[in-house]
Structure 1
């Protein structure tokens, strides 16, 4: 395979400060958090899909490259992460089905956001929308990269560098782990793989306090600069100082892999309960200023009774109003919920009808095949009968011809037998009367 323009996708610090996400009003901390969150999703999904580390590394590099050209406000981080895993699995020749990728991301989202674990129905409208979005996002990835998706990882340089420097064996695993963690940062779009490999080797040697040759500097042999190595170590140290990345909703489009119907229902139920509990009290608070002057200006018992009855009536009216409001809210929620329930019921009914039609077609096909078999058997029986009749007629003809031949040949045979018997008797008499001398 021939790769063209392999090392062209590297950005400067100024370009990273003016990414499309920054232009859309997303600050540096939010962008860094979303990058780390997306890489975490790619790494975890790769483990669940039983993919090799090369696939996960390629997916994270594609993720960083894409969001250097597109904004987090226009493309959802979860959907892009799923498409990066799917595309990377095909690039590294370990493909996975879109169904499995979507199911894994759906399950991860349910677990991360404490949602009920629901099965993603592959015949549902939600699944078809997710699959279409997965294909669409993959096309966006390929378009932004110009179909040049070759990725060179620092992992392949680490073992060679450490073997050349003759370092202890435990240093290899530490450098490998640091290289995996560096994929969560923008180092893969800022420096070449050789520089990142030298940086993780330097950091691992410092952590294990292993001295490396400095006169002459060892990194000169691997085409690296000290400034690049220091920057790699600084970025890794900053990464380890950050807390665990959490999802920040900045995208305008739908961003959920899981069906959020139950979460919406629970929220609406809480709102309705709060309205029922807080509605009468709020109305009572409004009614108290009206009651005070009436009660304060009472002079007689009749007026007091009238005022009390008026207050009671006002309270009853307010309670009825609050009940009407809560009922109207519940009715609106039911009306909002009815179309989705109807659509779901219609979809399930349509599926059941399709299954019944398929079963009926299968039964009809079975009956037709049975009829064809019976017809073939009948034809075979008729053929056998015709053959038997022809054989019997031939045998009868042979039997009649044989009897006539026997009747013809029997007299001649009798005559020959008679002559032979008479000849033999005469010979016997002659030999008896004329013995040999």
Structure 2
């Protein structure tokens, strides 16, 4: 029997400090900012997609687990966040199509960066590339987690704990909000859900000044320890002290959901090509240029070269646009010619069909006239036969009545002769 443990993904503080992102030269503050930014994307997209809170919570936990094994420099925050939402919607039995997820992330990026909101065409190459990348990133997620995607949230423990402690409803709502905010931190990969739920309840009780039983300590009943509760409160307090999360371009390739090509910054391009020395924002310079005295002149030369490259790329883009416009004009002309030819052929076919219909009508009319004439001839023949039959019947009835009349006369003569004979007999007897 194969046994799969649910609580198999919890890391220590040392493992988090030595994360893959740290090995690629990304410091702790940048990693924390990118984690919060990705969780914000997941939460906002879930609201726009009308997903339940369980889907958004599962997506954020999957997001933190993935970046505990992979680096932010090798996997885009935006693409991974979209894949986490897509995978979590299927895990929580509230699936959404990939088309809707890509459209929502495309619209969010346009709003966040102040770009004009454009419709993401489903037939375009940009959409097909985004969809293929979404599917590919989902496979990476499943592979890194070993297809063990079960997530246990602290939300289901909060209501039970507060009901046991007899806390008011306001405290329950505050603890629920704190549990949602805790998903933006790494608490879900450091502590179990019971410990996070106890820390959230304790923080909410301190905020509303609600006393909790201490003799015996209330957290022992819920399988938690005091050190874990205090660490949860400390991490939440640090989260609320941070500014609003912003996107930091740490990923090497282009991870934009929009179709507008951005103009790259020559300094960031220079920092990507040069080896990074501990800072993820691109502010650090290579060691070779720091050791030299004439670093400013070399920087200016590199910046000029980058600007020249930008100008050349702009010219090539303009040439490609003009070529595309000419191609579109040619295609439109060919389409119009094809449409005119098609319309002429359609008109010819219609005329042919009309002629065929007229010929059919004529044939049908001729057939109907022949049938009517035949019907009239048959009616005349029937009338003649009826007249003949009536005449023959009349003749036969006339011959049969004559002998009947003769017989009646004979009978009357016979009776009259008999009556005269009887009278004569009576007369004879009377004289005698």
TM-score, normalisation: structure 2: 0.73
CA distance in 2, matches of 1:354, 1:218: 80
How far residue 44 of structure 1 moved from its aligned partner, in angstroms, is: 1.1
Residue equivalent to 1:131: 131
| 1:70-89 pair list within 5 angstroms | 70-89=70-89
Call closer, same or farther: CA 1:4–1:393 in 2, change over 3 Å.
farther
Per-residue deviation, residues 281-319 of structure 1 (Å, max 9, x unmatched):
xxxxxxxxxxxxxxxxxxxxxxxxxxxxxxxxxxxxxxx
User: Deviation at 1:432?
Assistant: 13
Determine the structure 2 residue equivalent to 1:396: 377
Structure 1 counterpart of 2:98: 98
Contact 1:84 1:138 in 2 (8 A): yes
| Alpha-carbon distance between aligned partners in 1 of 2:201 and 2:369, rounded to the nearest angstrom | 93
1: CA distance, partners of 2:205 / 2:413: 139
Which shifted more, 180-189 or 330-339?
A: 330-339
Partner of 1:153: helix, strand, or coil? coil
- Matched with 1:341 is 321
Aligned to 1:240: 240
Query: Aligned runs of 1:19-418 on 2, under 5 Å?
Result: 19-261=19-261, 264=263, 332=312, 335-342=315-322, 344-345=324-325, 348=328, 352=332, 382=363, 386=367, 389=370, 393=374, 396-397=377-378, 399-404=380-385, 406-417=387-398
2-side partners of 1:251 and 1:106: how far apart?
Answer: 18
Partner of 2:206: helix, strand, or coil? helix
- Quickly say closer, same or farther: Cα 1:334–1:56, change in 2 above 3 A: closer
Distance 1:420 1:212, change over 3 A: farther
Q: Displacement, 1:16? A: 1.0
With over 3 angstroms needed to count, the CA separation of the structure-2 counterparts of 1:160 and 1:29, relative to structure 1, is same
Deviation of 1:417 (Å): 4.6
Instruction: From the CA coordinates, give the structure whose radius of gyration is larger.
Output: 2
Q: Aligned partners of 1:374 and 1:198: how far apart in 2?
A: 88
1:404–1:206 Cα change, 3 Å: same
Q: Tell me how far 1:401 sits from its aligned partner.
A: 4.6
Higher mean C-alpha deviation, range 337-346 or range 80-89: 337-346
Of the structure 1 ranges 149-158 and 109-118, higher mean CA displacement relative to structure 2 is found in 109-118
CA RMSD of aligned residues (A): 4.0
Q: Any stretches of 5+ residues in structure 1 without a counterpart? A: 268-327
Task: Compute the displacement of 1:95 (Å).
Answer: 2.3
How much does 1:65 deviate?
A: 0.9
TM-score after normalising by structure 1: 0.73
Is the alpha carbon distance of 1:395 and 1:226 closer, same or farther for their aligned partners in structure 2, counting shifts above 3 Å? farther
Moved more, 384-393 or 252-261: 384-393
Distance 2:85 2:214 in 1: 40
Query: How far apart are the structure 1 equivalents of 2:172 and 2:341?
Result: 64
Which structure is higher in helix share? 1
Residue-by-residue CA offset, 1:166-225 (whole Å, 9 max, x unaligned): 111111111110010011001111112222112111111111111222222222222222
Query: How much has 1:388 moved relative to structure 2?
Result: 6.7
Deviations 1:228-248 (A, max 9, x none): 222111111111111111111
Deviates more, 1:214-223 or 1:114-123: 114-123
**1:264, CA displacement in angstroms?**
3.4
CA contact (8 A) 1:63 1:80 kept: yes
Distance 1:412 1:353, change over 3 A: same
1:304-349 superposed Cα distances (whole Å, 9 cap, x missing partner): xxxxxxxxxxxxxxxxxxxxxxxx9997465232244146436755
Could you tell me how far apart the structure 2 residues matched to 1:354 and 1:82 are?
41
Q: In terms of mean alpha carbon deviation, does 188-197 or 252-261 score higher?
A: 252-261
Structure 1 residues 332 and 382: CA distance shift in structure 2, 3 A: same
Unaligned stretches of 5+ residues in structure 2 = 267-307, 420-432
Please say if residues 3 and 150 of structure 1, whose CA atoms lie closer than 8 Å, have aligned partners that are also in contact: no
